[in-house]
């Protein structure tokens, strides 16, 4: 009952701990879920805001670009201009022949249109009054089909080669063209709009109208126009250039550093991701390496992408603060709940501790009694008993092994094996302990061990108790081993005597048993039989013909064919041999090997008529060796055969009488070993 109560107490403690852990995990999960939801809600809000900002600026840019084209198109549709182009066309492009008044009118028309539409930038008067030409970066010009400027506003910038090429394309195709953002000859960022102009009543364009305007006065104010009150929002124009990202550099609009180029890194760079996913919302890094939230929009008729951004630090500052506040508040609440639960559990645990303290003391006393009883039992056992820990130190020893060194078991506790029993014995025991511990298996060996200069043979058992300790039991089998050795010596002498008697009794069989044993051993070693199987085969070879002692000599020496009765008598040698040897104890199947040596591989032999692998391997080897030696020896009815004749005859009978594998091994032995017979 006490053990059951202790078990219940232990289970209740574990249950309480599991409940606390579960509450903690669930609480932290809920806190994380709530804070994550707050964060995702803020992200979604900024996605809407950035989308609105991007839409507003996209509309501003598209409207501005449309207005530039509309201004130039309206000018191209002016009838006076079309009349002028018609006259010019009729005069084969010689604009000098056109009346000066018409040209003056067209020039004034261009000047007025440029002023009204912003194709002329505001000029700040020079504080020094001097006759110095004013540098302009904007203007409108009429360009002929062959790329010559016909009429232009005063101070019209020089048109570069690409602008003129675009003008020719516009005339040829009758479509509007855009000369993308570039630096003019005065290193000012400008953009050029081009539309075709037609003659009166003629759909074919004969000239183009080019309008150049600066970015600083027109485009950048649109990009910098405040929509929401933020500190770090920024509107950028970006485009792809081979494997790089090009930023329009608004901060350096007065010199050649108009573009900022960065590698195309879609995993980190916001512009790269936006170009691959137009219109997508994401969080990446800007050109300075800072985290930003961004939304993008494509600008019509250009390869530029509008990138609306805001710093993550500013956008999510409130979110981080609310998230931190939420985590702190819920964590404090969870901590308070856990404190209450732990306090309650500790109060209950203290009551249980008081209740079972006496039970634990009683159990401790019982364990002490059991240890003393175990020590008493093991002290009265002749075997040596040790418990070894994983550090190879002794944790338990019985009296018999300690008394060899005139010590008590307590004197060996916590001592190392080599320190206690010497280097060689200690190392050998360590080896077996490590094998048992590392492989978690029982190791049983027979080994000679030396204790206090006394060497004996021990049956050693090593049992892993747990992950720390191994039980060692050493049983002295020296006397048993000596008795076994004596028995083996007697058996050997007996076999030698019987072999001598057999070979002396049977005519023409001198050394037959010895030769058969040697040949059988050579074959067995070649096919890698075990030591026990070889010993069994050797004994069977020596004793196989002992039954012939009961066969009359006249049958053994007969030179004519045997009668059926005489053959039956000769075949009784197997039974006679078994009757003689049946009371002897052999380690292996010696009697079975002898009984099966006259069995044939095809089942035609005797006495059992068994076949194939049912015949012992030792019997199959003995049959071949016995037949070889018999045919090599002279008989009353024939001369001895040569080795080659014998091998040929055995080969012819392989697969029927003899095992093919054994015959093949015999031929290999005969061909490759010198002292094989």
Q: Is the pLDDT of residue 410 over 90?
A: no
| Average pLDDT, integer, range 243-259 | 69
- Higher per-residue confidence, 189 vs 554: 189
- Higher per-residue confidence, 351 vs 520: 520
Counting Cβ atoms within 10 Å, is residue 370 exposed (0-12), middle (13-18) or buried (19+)?
A: exposed
> What single-letter DSSP state applies at residue 396?
E
Encode 279-324 in three state secondary structure. Answer: CCEEEEECCCCCEEEEEEEECCCCCCEEEEEEEHHHHCHHHHHHHH
> What per-residue confidence (pLDDT) applies to 254?
47
Determine which of 23-27, 212-216, 555-559 has the lowest per-residue pLDDT on average. Answer: 555-559
Question: What is the distance of C-alpha 109 from the center of its chain?
Answer: 77
Integer Cα distance of 414 and 562 in angstroms: 80
The tokens describing 55, both together, are 């839409």
Q: Which CATH architecture has domain 488-672?
A: Orthogonal Bundle (1.10)
Residue 156 region by backbone torsions, left for phi larger than 0, else alpha for psi between -120 and 50, else beta:
beta
Determine which of 42-51, 132-141, 561-570 has the lowest per-residue pLDDT on average. Answer: 561-570
Q: Is the pLDDT of residue 400 over 60?
A: yes
Q: Is the previous residue joined to 292 through a cis bond, with omega within 30 degrees of 0?
A: no
| Average pLDDT, integer, range 31-38 | 79
Q: Which positions ≥6 away from 443 have C-beta within 8 Å?
A: 432, 435, 436, 460, 461, 462
- Higher per-residue confidence, 333 vs 298: 298
> What per-residue confidence (pLDDT) applies to 364?
67
Domain regions of the chain by residue span: 77-120+135-220, 229-315, 381-476, 488-672
Summarised one tens digit per residue, pLDDT across range 603-632 is: 999 888 999 999 999 999 999 998 998 888
> What per-residue confidence (pLDDT) applies to 267?
87
| Average pLDDT, integer, range 293-300 | 91
Q: To 5 degrees, how large is the angle CA 584–CA 549–CA 517?
A: 65
> What per-residue confidence (pLDDT) applies to 133?
60
Most confident range (mean pLDDT) of 121-125, 375-379, 451-455 is 451-455
> What single-letter DSSP state applies at residue 217?
I
- Higher per-residue confidence, 132 vs 192: 192
- The hierarchical CATH code for the domain 77-120+135-220 is 3.30.450.20
Integer Cα distance of 273 and 260 in angstroms: 17
> What per-residue confidence (pLDDT) applies to 283?
92
- Higher per-residue confidence, 203 vs 652: 652
Q: Is the pLDDT of residue 78 over 60?
A: yes
The tokens describing 521, both together, are 């051993």
Strands (E), 231-271: 234-241, 244-248, 259-263
Q: Is the pLDDT of residue 569 over 80?
A: no
Cβ count within 10 A of residue 571 = 14
> What per-residue confidence (pLDDT) applies to 528?
92
Integer Cα distance of 72 and 218 in angstroms: 16
Q: Which CATH number fits domain 381-476: 3.30.450.20, 3.40.50.300, 1.10.150.120, 3.60.15.10?
A: 3.30.450.20
Of the pLDDT bands very low, low, confident and very high (cuts 50, 70, 90), residue 124 is low
Tell me which H or E stretch contains 174.
Answer: none
Most confident range (mean pLDDT) of 90-99, 327-336, 381-390 is 381-390
> What per-residue confidence (pLDDT) applies to 641?
87
Of the pLDDT bands very low, low, confident and very high (cuts 50, 70, 90), residue 467 is confident
Summarised one tens digit per residue, pLDDT across range 347-399 is: 766 776 677 677 767 776 776 666 666 667 677 777 888 899 989 999 888 88
Q: Is the pLDDT of residue 128 over 60?
A: no
**Average model confidence (pLDDT) across the chain:** 82
Hunting for tokens 């302990």 — which residue is that? 433
| Average pLDDT, integer, range 155-167 | 90
Q: Which positions ≥6 away from 34 have C-beta within 8 Å?
A: 326, 330
pLDDT-above-70 percentage for the chain: 84
Of the pLDDT bands very low, low, confident and very high (cuts 50, 70, 90), residue 468 is confident
Determine which of 374-383, 413-422, 476-485 has the lowest per-residue pLDDT on average. Answer: 374-383
> What single-letter DSSP state applies at residue 381?
S
Q: Is the pLDDT of residue 346 over 90?
A: no
Q: Is the pLDDT of residue 316 over 90?
A: no
- Higher per-residue confidence, 508 vs 602: 602
Most confident range (mean pLDDT) of 260-264, 336-340, 596-600 is 596-600
* Same fold across 77-120+135-220 and 381-476: yes
Of the pLDDT bands very low, low, confident and very high (cuts 50, 70, 90), residue 429 is very high
> What per-residue confidence (pLDDT) applies to 7?
55
> What per-residue confidence (pLDDT) applies to 131?
55
Most confident range (mean pLDDT) of 90-94, 216-220, 265-269, 506-510 is 265-269
């Amino acid at each position: 009952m006490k053990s059951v109560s202790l078990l219940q107490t232990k289970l209740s403690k574990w249950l309480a701990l599991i409940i606390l852990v579960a509450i903690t995990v669930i609480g932290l999960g809920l806190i994380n879920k709530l804070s994550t939801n707050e964060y995702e809600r803020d992200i979604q809000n900024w996605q809407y805001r950035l989308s609105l900002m991007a839409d507003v600026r996209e509309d501003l840019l598209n409207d501005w670009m449309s207005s530039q084209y509309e201004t130039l198109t309206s000018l191209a549709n002016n009838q006076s201009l079309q009349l002028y182009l018609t006259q010019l066309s009729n005069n084969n492009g010689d604009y000098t022949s056109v009346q000066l008044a018409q040209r003056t009118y067209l020039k004034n028309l261009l000047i007025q249109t440029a002023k009204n539409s912003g194709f002329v930038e505001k000029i700040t008067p020079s504080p020094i009054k001097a006759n110095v030409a004013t540098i302009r970066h904007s203007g409108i010009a009429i360009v002929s089909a062959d790329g010559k400027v016909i009429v232009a506003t005063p101070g019209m910038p020089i048109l570069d080669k690409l602008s003129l090429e675009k003008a020719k394309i516009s005339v040829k195709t009758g479509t509007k063209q855009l000369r993308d953002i570039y630096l003019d000859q005065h290193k000012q960022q400008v953009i050029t709009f081009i539309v075709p102009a037609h003659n009166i009543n003629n759909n074919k364009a004969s000239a183009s109208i080019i309008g150049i305007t600066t970015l600083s006065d027109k485009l950048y104010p649109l990009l910098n126009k405040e929509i929401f009150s933020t500190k770090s929002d920024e509107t950028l124009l970006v485009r792809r250039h081979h494997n790089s990202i090009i930023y329009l550099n608004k901060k350096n609009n007065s010199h050649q550093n108009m573009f900022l180029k960065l590698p195309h890194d879609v995993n980190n760079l916001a512009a790269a991701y936006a170009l691959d996913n137009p219109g997508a919302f994401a969080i990446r890094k800007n050109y300075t390496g800072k985290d930003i939230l961004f939304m993008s929009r494509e600008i019509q008729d250009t390869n530029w992408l509008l990138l609306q951004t805001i710093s993550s630090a500013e956008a999510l500052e409130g979110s981080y603060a609310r998230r931190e506040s939420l985590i702190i508040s819920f964590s404090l609440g969870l901590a308070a709940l856990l404190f209450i639960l732990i306090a309650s559990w500790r109060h209950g645990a203290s009551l249980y501790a008081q209740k079972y303290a006496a039970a634990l003391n009683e159990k401790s006393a019982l364990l002490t009694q059991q240890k003393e009883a175990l020590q008493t039992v093991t002290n009265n056992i002749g075997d040596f008993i040790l418990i070894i820990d994983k550090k190879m130190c002794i944790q338990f020893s019985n009296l018999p092994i300690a008394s060899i060194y005139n010590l008590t078991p307590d004197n060996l506790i916590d001592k190392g094996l080599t320190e206690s029993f010497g280097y060689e014995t200690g190392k050998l025991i360590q080896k077996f302990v490590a094998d048992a511990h590392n492989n978690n298996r029982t190791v049983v060996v027979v080994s000679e061990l030396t204790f206090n200069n006394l060497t004996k043979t021990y049956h050693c058992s090593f049992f892993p108790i747990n992950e720390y300790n191994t039980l060692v039991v050493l049983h002295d089998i020296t006397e048993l081993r000596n008795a076994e050795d004596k028995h083996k010596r007697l058996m050997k002498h007996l076999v030698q005597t019987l072999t001598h008697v057999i070979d002396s009794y049977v005519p023409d069989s001198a050394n037959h048993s010895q030769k058969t044993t040697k040949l059988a051993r050579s074959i067995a070693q070649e096919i890698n039989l075990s030591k026990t199987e070889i010993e069994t085969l050797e004994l069977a070879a020596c004793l196989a013909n002992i039954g012939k002692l009961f066969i009359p000599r006249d049958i053994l020496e007969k030179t004519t064919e045997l009668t059926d009765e005489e053959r039956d008598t000769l075949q009784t040698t197997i039974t006679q041999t078994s009757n003689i040897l049946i009371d002897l104890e052999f380690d292996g199947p010696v009697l079975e090997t002898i009984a099966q040596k006259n069995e044939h591989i095809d089942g035609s032999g005797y006495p059992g008529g068994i076949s194939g692998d049912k015949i012992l391997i030792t019997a199959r080897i003995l049959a071949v060796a016995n037949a070889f030696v018999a045919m090599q020896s002279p008989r009353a009815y024939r001369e001895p055969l040569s080795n080659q004749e014998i091998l040929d005859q055995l080969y012819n009978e392989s697969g029927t009488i003899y095992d093919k594998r054994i015959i093949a091994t015999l031929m290999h032995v005969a061909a490759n070993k010198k002292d094989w017979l």
